[in-house]
Chains A and B, each alone.
Chain A
Amino acid sequence: MMRHGRGFKSVAGRVATYVVLVVLGLASILPFIWLVRSSLCSDKEIMLPVTKLSGIVPSEMHPENYVRVFQSVPFWRYLFNTSFIIVFVVTGTVLSSSLCAYAFAFCRVPYRNLVFYGVLATLMLPGVVMIIPTFILFRTIGWIDTFKPLILPAFFGQAFFIFLFRQFFLSLPRELVEAARIDGASALQIYWRIIMPLTRPAIVTVALFAFTMTWNDFMGPLIYLNSQENWTLQLGLQSFQGQISNEWSLLMAATVITVLPLILLFLFLQRYFIRGIALTGLKG
């Protein structure tokens, strides 16, 4: 999959490269180490400055910080809410975006690319222009403080995911589609029976991205979810910080809880993340 890169010109070059990489890699990971370390510190120890390298490991581990977090704040509820939203969003996104991508990949229409670039252009719309009228729309229907405003838009296709699916579709062999057409299959049947089963890698990638974006979404839940029982993890974390602004160890434990599922997801499904990102850059 990855071609070999350029070789090293000299031993010095090789050493220097590795040194730089190690330093930068460490810089990348250090905040995570700090995060975990802080989450296990006692309330007293976390207020002490770290002066020696050994200070990174807390002198006493306090994993009960995590228990305390769950006791202070209904994180299980937040987790449930977030998951609920995500299930629907991912389903809706995968279905609607793949349908739209099918149009761009398999329907032979002369202006197809033009329309596609138009759709892509909408990626540049700043979302903030739309929030106020959308809020008023949902308010009129009475959907405020429900999950619906966050879920429904996912069923209408999003430019970014349409793009990803289209790229993938274009790489599928045409003969399959041709053969099915000759057999008299309708477009919908071709989509459902032939294309989608072959699209598993792209589906996983899109699902992952949709998952991550929804998990990290803040402004949407902030505007639409009022009651605490409806909150998502991001809202819960932000409000937790408002409550206990200086109890850092608890706050870091809560942050770990909010971040861990994503990290695990990434670690196990890296391939799909990487592939998806690489695809976006090859647009040109």
Chain B
Amino acid sequence: MKDFLRSSYLIPIAVLAVVAVAVATGGHRQLDEKGRPLVVWAHPPCPPPLMKIYNGIFDEFRRTHPDINLRVLHITGNYEDKIKVMVAGNVAPDTIFMYPNALAAWVELDALESLDTNLEADPNVRTSDYFTPMIDTFSYGGKVYGLPKDASAVIMEYNVDLFRRFDVQPPRPDWTWNDMLDAAAKLTRDTDGDGRTDLWGMTPYSWWIFVWQNGGRILSEDRSRCALLEPRAVEALEFWAALRYKHGVTPTLEAEADMGMHQMFIAQRVAMSFEIYPIVSVYRKTCEFEWDLAHVPAGPAGRCTEVRGSALAMSRQCRNKEAAFEFVRWLTAAPGMSRLLAVEMPSWKSLADSDAFVKMPGLPASKRVAVESMEYARLPLQHPLYNEIMDALNPALQKAQRGETTVRETLDHAVPQVNKILERHRARN
């Protein structure tokens, strides 16, 4: 034995022993020490005051469900990317926060569990309890993958004080593109006389909403190619780009890099911003002026906006599916959402359309606008390669927005790239 301890053979053995110890320790558990199913919920990036509210909600869940062990993970940074890495690493959380654009990619990765069977089995919930556009947004291939949590669409917030000060007509429900452009132009000024514009009329909303409002589409009906080179789309994009490079009613890119879009609204450097409903809790706290909500203007082909909002989905790697579904259902229905009314609009119809939400005290005065926007809200583009498609289009269109090239020219480069991405996707499936 003593001889052995002097032998050099000890070295590789020691190394392998270290490896063995490392392999032996570890492993995931299904049930916790008390035998309760563990449900891991990955909470997206969230400012501290909001987190407090959520913690209250989680505590309520734990109180009403003593037989489920809810564990909350706090994710910061790019939520989607982080969760994807966790799924790839086989350590996915049980329930995931879902954005509309992300759904298709997740489904295709085979990472989500369809909720249809759970929905059928549970008497407490029906899909008709939620706003239809929201349920549709979180369905793919005919199956429901997410229960919608907050319902929101892109709507307008405008600075009532600025409109009054410069004597501009406030937005009306029948506003068109040109009405908006007119008002924005009147509200783009140099307010401190230093020769540089420091107030802009509006921040631009997503270019594809412009495209839709003009009757165009991003992808063709059969989703086989990019439809942005069609006349309606090009026209819409030219209007969108001209807002910056021609009319100058939207902030420059440098100003934007300095302060984010909604920071500019708070600092009264833009008069109209286009954000989703949840921004109201930020504005309520930080805006030192009167502001309100309005509908987005109608384009030549009618009024529409994009559904955003969010949902809770269940991952395939979930080990306790019933418990996880119960959490998802509870959070998206009245018990969970009623504490969030000050912050967002629930997708649970009966709660959203009630006085509890619409007649809540505090700005904005026109909360109804949010409820009404559900009527003309459209599903966002759902494609598994959404990120790649946008990565190909956004920089190209930003070039046009800066006036460095025309919309047509930049699309001539970008659309074939998108088509290649679509082609590659079709070839692989």
A and B touch in the complex (CB under 8 A): yes
Tell me the A residues contacting B by CB distance below 8 Å: 72, 92, 96, 99, 135, 138-139, 141-146, 148, 151-152, 155-156, 185-189, 223-224, 226-228, 238-239, 242-243, 246
Interchain CB contact under 8 A, B90 and A155: no
Chain A CB within 8 A of B45 CB = yes
Given A142-B26, A144-B89, A223-B85, verify A155-B18 contact (CB < 8 Å). Answer: yes
Q: How far is the CB of B223 from chain A (nearest CB, A)?
A: 30
Query: Which residues from B are CB-within-8-Å of A188?
Result: 6-8, 10-11
- Which B residues from 1 to 41 make CB contacts under 8 A with A? 6-8, 10-11, 15, 18-19, 22-23, 26-28
User: Residue on A with the closest CB to B25?
Assistant: A148
Q: How far is the CB of B302 from chain A (nearest CB, A)?
A: 37
Q: A135-B89, A155-B15 are in contact. List 4 more A-B contacts (CB 8 A).
A: A143-B22, A144-B86, A144-B89, A186-B8
Given A187-B8, A228-B76, verify A148-B89 contact (CB < 8 Å). Answer: no
Query: Which residues from B are CB-within-8-Å of A151?
Result: 22
Query: Which residues from B are CB-within-8-Å of A144?
Result: 86, 89-91
Instruction: Pick the 3 closest A-B CB pairs, nearest first.
Output: A144-B89, A186-B6, A239-B76
Interchain CB contact under 8 A, B11 and A99: yes
Interchain CB contact under 8 A, A139 and B85: no
Q: How far is the CB of A169 from chain B (nearest CB, A)?
A: 16
Interchain CB contact under 8 A, B22 and A246: no
Q: How far is the CB of B343 from chain A (nearest CB, A)?
A: 19
Interchain CB contact under 8 A, A239 and B6: no
1/0 per residue, CB under 8 A from A, across B276-320: the answer is 000000000000000000000000000000000000000000000
Sample of 7 A–B contacts (CB below 8 Å): A92-B18, A148-B22, A189-B6, A226-B82, A226-B85, A228-B74, A243-B77
Tell me the B residues contacting A by CB distance below 8 Å: 6-8, 10-11, 15, 18-19, 22-23, 26-28, 45, 48, 73-78, 82, 85-86, 88-91, 258-260, 263
Q: How far is the CB of A47 from chain B (nearest CB, A)?
A: 9
Query: Which residues from A are CB-within-8-Å of B18?
Result: 92, 152, 155
Interchain CB contact under 8 A, A186 and B11: no
Given A186-B8, A226-B82, verify A143-B76 contact (CB < 8 Å). Answer: no
Query: Which residues from A are CB-within-8-Å of B259?
Result: 246
A51 CA to B421 CA, complexed, in Å: 50
Interchain CB contact under 8 A, B86 and A139: no
Q: How far is the CB of B59 from chain A (nearest CB, A)?
A: 19
Q: Majority SS of interface residues in chain A?
A: helix
A92 CA to B22 CA, complexed, in Å: 13
Query: Which residues from B are CB-within-8-Å of A143?
Result: 22, 26
Interchain CB contact under 8 A, B89 and A145: yes
User: Residue on B with the closest CB to A96?
Assistant: B15
Given A146-B26, A155-B18, A156-B15, verify A226-B91 contact (CB < 8 Å). Answer: yes
A227 CA to B75 CA, complexed, in Å: 7
> Which of the residues B7, B11, B26 comes within 8 Å of A148, measured between beta carbons?
B26
Interchain CB contact under 8 A, A152 and B91: no
Interchain CB contact under 8 A, A142 and B28: yes
Given A96-B15, A144-B89, A186-B8, verify A242-B26 contact (CB < 8 Å). Answer: no
Interchain CB contact under 8 A, B89 and A226: yes
User: Residue on B with the closest CB to A136?
Assistant: B88
Q: How far is the CB of B161 from chain A (nearest CB, A)?
A: 23
Query: Which residues from A are CB-within-8-Å of B6?
Result: 185-186, 188-189
> Which of the residues B11, B73, B78 comes within 8 Å of A227, measured between beta carbons?
B73
A141 CA to B91 CA, complexed, in Å: 11
A42 CA to B86 CA, complexed, in Å: 38
Q: How far is the CB of B45 from chain A (nearest CB, A)?
A: 7
A238 CA to B76 CA, complexed, in Å: 10
Interchain CB contact under 8 A, A186 and B7: yes
A39 CA to B11 CA, complexed, in Å: 48
Q: How far is the CB of A260 from chain B (nearest CB, A)?
A: 23
Query: Which residues from A are CB-within-8-Å of B11?
Result: 99, 188
Query: Which residues from A are CB-within-8-Å of B23?
Result: 141
A151 CA to B26 CA, complexed, in Å: 14
User: Residue on A with the closest CB to B263?
Assistant: A246
Interchain CB contact under 8 A, A145 and B74: no
Interchain CB contact under 8 A, B15 and A228: no
A22 CA to B260 CA, complexed, in Å: 40
Query: Which residues from B are CB-within-8-Å of A72?
Result: 48
Query: Which residues from A are CB-within-8-Å of B45?
Result: 243
Given A242-B76, A242-B77, verify A145-B22 contact (CB < 8 Å). Answer: no
A99 CA to B18 CA, complexed, in Å: 15
Query: Which residues from A are CB-within-8-Å of B7?
Result: 186, 188
Interchain CB contact under 8 A, A145 and B86: yes
Query: Which residues from B are CB-within-8-Å of A138?
Result: 89
A188 CA to B22 CA, complexed, in Å: 24
Q: How far is the CB of B400 from chain A (nearest CB, A)?
A: 26
A177 CA to B48 CA, complexed, in Å: 63
User: Residue on B with the closest CB to A72?
Assistant: B48
Query: Which residues from B are CB-within-8-Å of A186?
Result: 6-8
A239 CA to B45 CA, complexed, in Å: 10
Interchain CB contact under 8 A, A243 and B22: no
Query: Which residues from B are CB-within-8-Å of A152?
Result: 18-19, 22
A141 CA to B25 CA, complexed, in Å: 11
Given A144-B91, A226-B86, verify A239-B77 contact (CB < 8 Å). Answer: yes
Q: How far is the CB of A263 from chain B (nearest CB, A)?
A: 26
